[in-house]
Structures are given as C-alpha cells and as structure tokens.
Chains A and B, each alone.
Chain A
C-alpha cells in the first residue's frame, strides 16, 4: 500500500463522515423552522405582524443569528479545552516555530470555517422557503459568521483560564440559553419589561439578530453601523483577551 492510498482512504473517511454530519446539521434548522415558524407561527393571531413580516420570517432570521452564536460559543469550549488540557496539542505545536498568537488566530480561523458550513446551508434553506426579498440578504452570511466569531473569541479566552470544564455548565445554562431565548429571537424585545430590554440590548446576540433582520427582512438603517461596530469591538476585545490568557497559560 503506497502513501497515496492512505491519502485516498483518509479522504474517503473524511468525506463520508462529513457528509453524514453535514446532513444532520442541515436537518436540525429545517426541523426547528418548521416546528416553530410554521407550527407555532400558525397559531399566532391572524393579522399580527412583526415589523411588517410574518412570524416565520421573524423567527427564522433570529434563529440564523442565534445558531451562529451557539456554534461559536461551543467551538470555544470543549474543543479548545481538550487541546489545552487533555490532549495537549498546543504543547506540540508550540515546540515548532508557531507563536501562541498564531495558534489562537488559527483556531479562530477554523471556527470561521465551521460557521460558514453552518450559515450557508441555513441561508439556502431560508431562501427556498421564500423568506428573503432583497439582494442585500446575501450579506447576512458574513454577518452571521461575524456574530459567531465575536462570541467564540471571548469564550476561547475564557477557556484558557479554566482548569476543568465545570464552568461550561453555567455558561450554557445561564448565559447561552437565556440569550438564545430572550435576545429578540423568539419575540421582539419590546415585549420585555424595561429592565429586560436594557439587558437584552447589551448582549451581542441582540445586535447580531438586529443586523441580520435589517439586511434581510427590514429596511437597512443607520443603526446597522452601530450593531456592526459592537460586534467588531467584541471580536477585537476577545482576540486581545485571548492573546493574554493563551500566553499566560501556554508560555512556560
């Protein structure tokens, strides 16, 4: 067996497992959109619109952004912790000319790849469902990737400060899930009490959801710049914090 056979064989395995997981990752949003958007949406009062659109469009655009947040946060947790603590991949990498910062940015780059793989099929499904009416909707794809990265970078920075994975239970249950449910994804934040609105407006997901909706189903306004600036700022803060915590953890 020559080396090329190994390459072909590995490529085959990769393609097969990728195909399976790709199928599963497309199936979940389709099911979620049908259950909530169509099932629950059909119960929403006749004539009630969400800023001029029906519930399916409102909900689907929110889910597009929030699934990117969830994926971004997840990519920053167990996979990174495993490479720092359990499998110690980074120790091996850092024995090469790679710097800690390059390792951090490389991981973030891979997160962008997984986010693209999530966002593109999701976007295509929504297009098929007839949710988008403007060409600017395409811009939602890079925005969604940005949302995921802005959530991923600070979480990666946080992971480097942890010794065990216990904190993740808190992170997912008490931060990610409430953000997912209450940042304007399922219903407009105007329905929240005043204090809830203030909190929601401070979260990255709210800005992501708003920006996606302005590009896809609402009119693009000047506030889009502010949402974009918020997300970029969070990404930069996350990267700077990540440089620090990774260096502290991984430099001898």
Chain B
C-alpha cells in the first residue's frame, strides 16, 4: 500500500532514535575532550582583553533606563557569540564532514535512525554543548560582578534557545554546502560579520539609520540583546520580541534544514 510505504521511508521523528546520534557524538568526543573543555576559554579571553582591557578607556554605556560598564555590556554579547560559534561548529562544520567526507550519515541511515532523527540528534548535541559553555560563562560573569539582576536566571534557558535557533540555521548551510571552500566563505561572509556587527561589541545605536534595520534583523542581534536584557535586568516588551524571533527561527530553520538534508541524502 502506497501510504504505508511512504510511512516506512519517512517515519516520524523519534527522540529515542535521535538520542542515538547524540550518544555517538559523545563517544566520539571522549578522545577529544580537550577541544571540548578549551572552547570555554575563548570568550573568557575576549572578556578580559576587550571588556576590561579596552573597557578602561570607555565611559559607562547607556542601556535601557540605566548605564552599565562596558564589560557588563560586552559580556552578554560574548555569551551570545559563543552560542553562535558552537552552532557553526556543531551544526555546520562537523555535520559537513560527516555528510561529505566521512559518509557517517550514509552509514547511520542503513539503521532505523532516519534523516529527521539525525538532524534533531545533531541539534540536541549542539544544544548540550552550548548550554554547558553558556552556564560556565554565566558563572564567570557572576563572579566578576557583571550580573545586575535576578532576571539572569532566565539567561540559562535563553542560551539554550539561542543555541537551538542558531544551530538550526547552521544546519541549513549543511544542507546547501558541497565544497570544502564553502567553510571559509561561511566563516568570512556570515559568521565573522555577525560576530563583529550584531551589537556584540558596540551598541546598534552607533550605526547610521539606514544600517540599523539590517543589523536588527540578524539572529545574533536578537540573541545578544535578549541575554543583555536579562543580565542587566532591563526586561520589557522588546525582550519578549527577541525571544519570539528566536523561537520562530528554531521552527522555520529547523524545518528547512531537515528538508534540505533529506534531499541531499535521498538523491
């Protein structure tokens, strides 16, 4: 029967099967735990050098109804940027190699684990890694006195939301990219500009009027501003809008990514 055949090819997503891929990554990383742990230090070094080093030459930054030190401004931006880095690594680089070079997914697909399971398993893995880094960085911020409000407890789920949204976006690239040179292009043309210009290092108010809407449309801007609202306690309607943007991105980008990857693997 046609209906049941189609079901057999595209079974619904199963968290149980997706978690198999998660466990595969965990096992693969056991030999490479240094890379895992050391990922935490990158934003930390930036916080020390730029936040405190360069921050000494900067007056307090107006934010919401208050003024904050430059380090308090930068830290949530770096937190958001670290979820971007994690998403690009776990949602794009690593699946890219598994898809095109190591043919890991082709092997997995001979098992009951299907394409949506693979996509969701990779996103779960990215989410776990991103959350651990995020939590670690929040503790550092707390110890350095850069958290100004109890709202910051919601920064933990916000980090997870940001990691999921950005990894879903990165998985779209996995579905599109075919050549090794795409990695460099994605880094230079997407990741690096997002990292530098999304209101991470300086407020978007500094942009000319015609550029600001562009910046305000990027996912990292919403992620950084959401986290900054929470750690500084400047929570308002805007905060909810940033969260809604990221939730929408999870759903839309996730759906598109699964479609694209399915097309790659089935063809």
Tell me if B38 and A169 are in contact (CB < 8 A). Answer: yes
Tell me if A45 and B58 are in contact (CB < 8 A). Answer: yes
Q: How large is the interface on A (under 10, 10 to 19, 20 to 34, 35 or more residues)?
A: 20 to 34
Nearest Cβ distance between residue B188 and chain A, in whole angstroms? 4
Tell me if A44 and B57 are in contact (CB < 8 A). Answer: yes
Q: For the complex, is A203 an interface residue (Cβ under 8 Å from B)?
A: no
Tell me if A45 and B193 are in contact (CB < 8 A). Answer: no
Q: How far is the CA of A28 from the CA of B193 in the complex (A)?
A: 9
Tell me if B57 and A187 are in contact (CB < 8 A). Answer: yes
Bitwise, A181-211 to B at CB < 8 A (1) or not (0) is 1100011000100000000000000000000
In A145-172, the 8 Å CB interface with B consists of: 166, 169-170
Contact of A182 among B41, B42, B49 (CB under 8 A): B49
Tell me if B192 and A28 are in contact (CB < 8 A). Answer: yes
Among residues of A, the one whose C-beta sits closest to the C-beta of B197 is: A35
Q: For the complex, is A27 an interface residue (Cβ under 8 Å from B)?
A: yes
Among residues of A, the one whose C-beta sits closest to the C-beta of B207 is: A39
Q: List, in ascending order, chain B residues with CB within 8 A of A43's CB.
A: 58-59, 61, 70, 202, 206
Contact of B46 among A17, A42, A45, A181 (CB under 8 A): A181
Q: How far is the CA of A39 from the CA of B41 in the complex (A)?
A: 24
Most chain-B CB neighbours within 10 Å: which of A27, A31, A45, A166? A31
Q: For the complex, is B248 an interface residue (Cβ under 8 Å from A)?
A: no
Q: For the complex, is A21 an interface residue (Cβ under 8 Å from B)?
A: yes
Tell me if A39 and B206 are in contact (CB < 8 A). Answer: yes
Known contacts A35-B197, A170-B38; is-contact A177 B45 (Cβ 8 Å): yes
Nearest Cβ distance between residue B62 and chain A, in whole angstroms? 11
Nearest Cβ distance between residue B33 and chain A, in whole angstroms? 10
Q: How far is the CA of A71 from the CA of B233 in the complex (A)?
A: 41
Q: For the complex, is B65 an interface residue (Cβ under 8 Å from A)?
A: no
- Interface residues in B, total, Cβ within 8 A: 32
Bitwise, A34-74 to B at CB < 8 A (1) or not (0) is 11100110111100100000010000000000000000000
Contact of A31 among B38, B56, B193 (CB under 8 A): B193
Known contacts A27-B188, A170-B34, A187-B56; is-contact A39 B202 (Cβ 8 Å): yes
Contact of B42 among A17, A40, A177 (CB under 8 A): A177
Tell me if A187 and B53 are in contact (CB < 8 A). Answer: yes
Nearest Cβ distance between residue B74 and chain A, in whole angstroms? 9
Known contacts A43-B202, A166-B32, A182-B49; is-contact A31 B57 (Cβ 8 Å): no
Q: For the complex, is B201 an interface residue (Cβ under 8 Å from A)?
A: yes
Nearest Cβ distance between residue A174 and chain B, in whole angstroms? 7
Contact of B196 among A21, A32, A182 (CB under 8 A): A32
Q: For the complex, is B4 an interface residue (Cβ under 8 Å from A)?
A: no
Q: For the complex, is A7 an interface residue (Cβ under 8 Å from B)?
A: no
Q: List, in ascending order, chain B residues with CB within 8 A of A191's CB.
A: 53, 56
Given contacts A43-B59, A173-B39, 18 further A-B contacts (CB under 8 A): A17-B181, A20-B181, A21-B181, A24-B185, A28-B192, A35-B202, A36-B196, A39-B206, A45-B57, A166-B32, A169-B35, A174-B38, A174-B41, A177-B41, A177-B42, A178-B45, A181-B46, A182-B45
Q: Which residues of A contact B (CB under 8 A)?
A: 17, 20-21, 24, 27-28, 31-32, 34-36, 39-40, 42-45, 48, 55, 166, 169-170, 173-174, 177-178, 181-182, 186-187, 191
20 contacts between A and B (CB under 8 A): A17-B181, A20-B181, A24-B188, A31-B196, A36-B196, A39-B206, A42-B202, A43-B70, A44-B54, A45-B58, A48-B57, A166-B32, A169-B34, A173-B38, A173-B39, A181-B45, A181-B50, A182-B45, A182-B49, A186-B50
